[in-house]
Structure 1
């Protein structure tokens, strides 16, 4: 593939696409800027014009990962389906992404917490939680969930779903299907949120 094939940012996109494939299959340790340049048929110097070093590439890859994950979660919570269904769809979307792309997800969170994380990465990594908070708030306003801290409820939900994702990707479910574990966990969290109203003090 000739370097002259690339115009108007196509090379950056091609490098990022190939980096996604490598990290998805081998993890971040398997990524090399020089090999990446060879894979897409350009010089190392040409690739360096888009990514100054490996960390910059991982940062961009993490941004791409969060954008894809956020889009999936956004689709899950959008629409007019019952709040419980959208809550379940969001959790399933998260675990599904983790199971399909475990190395990508690990890279996303590692890059997010790196000292050199870009402002774009920090911003895009914080998109999903407000969307979940908004969903829970809407469910509270509709009377399907009791009043309370939507932020706290969202953190509890994320912790539970991320836990299932970690168990699934680390092969710690002992043969229990991750889909069933996800469904059971999300259902349990939702029941807990609904039941929280019964724990409120009475006057």
Structure 2
């Protein structure tokens, strides 16, 4: 068996992409390190040079997941200029990521709590809350959000949006489309933070 990918220096990325696709399509239980190595055409030993064990691989996948999700949130926020627009865009981006990648999102949050979670994963896992804190703080400074504890208000935002994501990925919305549930929830949060009912 050749180790083409390893010698070309792109084996780590190839393993990550294949592992992501496996989990995304068939769930975490479908992931096997030995099968993963076979799928990309290398020996198990070659793959172990990049990921010593399953925990290391899952940590790297979680890092990739948080990076992609955080990038989507940042892009959503910068696409709007008002707090209402930013909150809607960011909320839909988060829930959309969850709906598109439910097994990956589940892995992301489990991996960040693992005792051996990397410092990079720990930092990236907090980034989405940092975005929400900044969003609420800046809106409060502009007078778009009522005064109050910014971290507490941000927690309400995150809890509401993540709650819709969890209901959607667990198929608990009883036929309601996730986007409709998201819009209704975000409107309710906006009303509580701004004192203005959604149109």
Both proteins in one fold, TM over 0.5: yes
Give the distance between the partners of 1:6 and 1:75, measured in 2 at CA: 34
- Aligned equivalent of 2:170: 170
Q: Which residue of 2 aligns with 1:186?
A: 186
Paired with 2:147 and 2:26, the residues of 1 have a C-alpha distance of 45
1:158 equivalenced with 2:187 (yes/no):
no
TM-score, length-scaled by structure 1: 0.93
Residue 96 of structure 2 is matched in structure 1 by: 96
User: Aligned residue for 1:52?
Assistant: 52
Asked whether the equivalents of residues 20 and 61 of structure 2 are also in contact (C-alpha less than 8 Å), the reply is yes
Tell me the C-alpha RMSD between the 2 structures: 1.5
How far apart, CA to CA, are the structure 1 residues paired with 2:94 and 2:116? 26
Q: Which stretches of structure 1, 4 residues or more, deviate above 4 A after TM superposition?
A: none
Contact 2:88–2:183 (CA under 8 A) maintained in structure 1: yes
> Deviation at 1:9?
3.9
Q: For residues 1-203 of structure 1, what are the structure 2 equivalents within 5 Å?
A: 2-7=2-7, 9-79=9-79, 81-195=81-195
Gaps of 5+ in 1: 197-203
Distance of 1:36 and 1:69 partners within structure 2: 24
Deviation, structure 1 residue 72 = 0.3
Query: How far, CA to CA, are the matches of 1:98 and 1:157 in structure 2?
Result: 16
Take 1:74 and 1:56, find their aligned partners in 2: how far apart are those partners?
A: 27
Other structure's SS at 2:195 match: helix
Tell me the TM-score normalised to structure 2 length: 0.94
Structure 2 SS opposite 1:126: helix
Contact 2:5/2:42 (8 A) holds in 1 = no
The whole-number CA distance in structure 2 between the counterparts of 1:78 and 1:69 is 14
What is the CA distance between 1:30 and its match in structure 2? Answer: 1.0
Which sections of structure 2, spanning at least 5 residues, go unmatched?
none
Contact 2:80 2:89 in 1 (8 A): no
Query: Matched residue pairs, number?
Result: 196
